[in-house]
Structure 1
Amino acid sequence: MNKTLLHAASLAALTALATPATASDIQLYGVLDYGLSVQHREYVDGTDSTQSRMVSGQYIGSRVGLKGEEDLGNGLKAGFVLENGFSSDTGALGQGGRLFGRDARLYLDGDFGYLSFGRMGSMVGGNGPYARFGHVVSPFSCGWGDIGGHLQVVSLGYEFIDNAVAYTTPTFAGFDATVQYSFGTDTKKYGTGVEGKSSVERMASGAVRYRNDKMMVAFGVESINQAQPAADNAQLDDSFSWNLGANYDAGWAKFYGYAQVFESYAAAARTTTFALASGVDGWGVNVGVDVPAFGGTAKLGVGYGDFEGSRDSAMTMSTWQTAVGYTYALSRRTTLYTAADWIASDYSQSYKTEKPSATEDVVEFTVGIVHKF
Structure 2
Amino acid sequence: MNAAYAQSSVTLYGVIDPDIVFVNNAQTGRSGGQLTGKQQYSMLDGTTSAYFGSRFGFRGVEDLGGGMSAIFTLENGFNAANGTLGQGGLLFGRQAFVGLSSASTGRVTLGRQYSSLWDFVSPLAIITQWAGYIGSHPDDLDNIGGTNRENSSVKYTTPVWNGVSADAMYSMGGVSGNFAQNQVWSVGVGYTGGPVRLGVAFVDAFDPNISMFGATATAGGVTTNNLGSLGSATTAQRNPVIAGYASAHRQQIFGAGGSYAIGHATLGVVYTNTRFVGLGGNSGPNPFGYSGSSTITNVEANVGYQVAPAVTLGAAYTFTKDDGPNNQGARYQQVTAGAHYLLSKRTDIYMVAAYQRASGTNSLGQAAVASVAGLTPSARNQQVVDTIGIAHRF
Q: How does 1:1-373 map to 2 (within 5 A)?
A: 25-41=9-25, 45=34, 47-58=36-47, 59=49, 60=51, 61-110=53-102, 111-125=104-118, 131-134=119-122, 136-141=123-128, 144=131, 147-151=134-138, 154-156=141-143, 159-184=148-173, 194=175, 197=178, 200-226=181-207, 236-264=248-276, 278=291, 280-294=294-308, 295-310=310-325, 312-314=326-328, 316-348=329-361, 351-352=365-366, 359-373=380-394
Which amino acid in 1 is paired with 2:253? Answer: S
Aligned to 1:7: none
Q: What is the alpha-carbon root mean square deviation over aligned residues? A: 3.4
Which amino acid in 2 is paired with 1:202? Answer: Q
Cα drift, residue 236 of structure 1 = 2.8
Which amino acid in 2 is paired with 1:291? Answer: Y
Secondary structure (helix, strand or coil) at the match of 2:340 reads strand
Unpaired stretches in structure 1, ≥5 consecutive residues: 1-20, 126-130, 185-192, 268-274
Q: Deviations over 1:155-182 (max 9, x none)?
A: 3585211101111112223222211111
Give the Cα–Cα distance (whole angstroms) in 2 for the partners of residues 255 and 347 of structure 1.
Answer: 30
Unpaired stretches in structure 2, ≥5 consecutive residues: 28-32, 216-244, 280-286, 370-376
Q: State the identity %.
A: 28
Aligned residues: 329
Which amino acid in 2 is paired with 1:367? Answer: I
Give the Cα–Cα distance (whole angstroms) in 1 for the partners of residues 34 and 75 of structure 2.
Answer: 42
Secondary structure (helix, strand or coil) at the match of 2:127 reads coil
Is contact 2:112-2:150 (8 Å) kept?
Answer: yes
Structure 1 length-normalised TM: 0.78
Which amino acid in 1 is paired with 2:155? Answer: A
Specify whether residues 353 and 283 from structure 1 end up closer, same or farther in structure 2 by C-alpha distance, changes over 3 A only: closer
Specify whether residues 72 and 22 from structure 1 end up closer, same or farther in structure 2 by C-alpha distance, changes over 3 A only: closer
Which amino acid in 2 is paired with 1:50? Answer: Q
Cα drift, residue 361 of structure 1 = 1.4
Specify whether residues 143 and 155 from structure 1 end up closer, same or farther in structure 2 by C-alpha distance, changes over 3 A only: farther
Which amino acid in 2 is paired with 1:206? Answer: V
Secondary structure (helix, strand or coil) at the match of 1:77 reads strand
Aligned to 1:189: none
Cα drift, residue 122 of structure 1 = 2.3
Structure 2 length-normalised TM: 0.74
Specify whether residues 266 and 212 from structure 1 end up closer, same or farther in structure 2 by C-alpha distance, changes over 3 A only: farther
Secondary structure (helix, strand or coil) at the match of 1:297 reads strand
Give the Cα–Cα distance (whole angstroms) in 2 for the partners of residues 228 and 344 of structure 1.
Answer: 27
Is contact 2:338-2:353 (8 Å) kept?
Answer: yes
Cα drift, residue 298 of structure 1 = 0.3
Give the Cα–Cα distance (whole angstroms) in 2 for the partners of residues 163 and 142 of structure 1.
Answer: 28
Secondary structure (helix, strand or coil) at the match of 1:124 reads helix
Secondary structure (helix, strand or coil) at the match of 2:92 reads coil
Give the Cα–Cα distance (whole angstroms) in 2 for the partners of residues 256 and 195 of structure 1.
Answer: 44
Secondary structure (helix, strand or coil) at the match of 1:147 reads helix
Cα drift, residue 198 of structure 1 = 5.2
Aligned to 2:282: none
Cα drift, residue 95 of structure 1 = 0.7
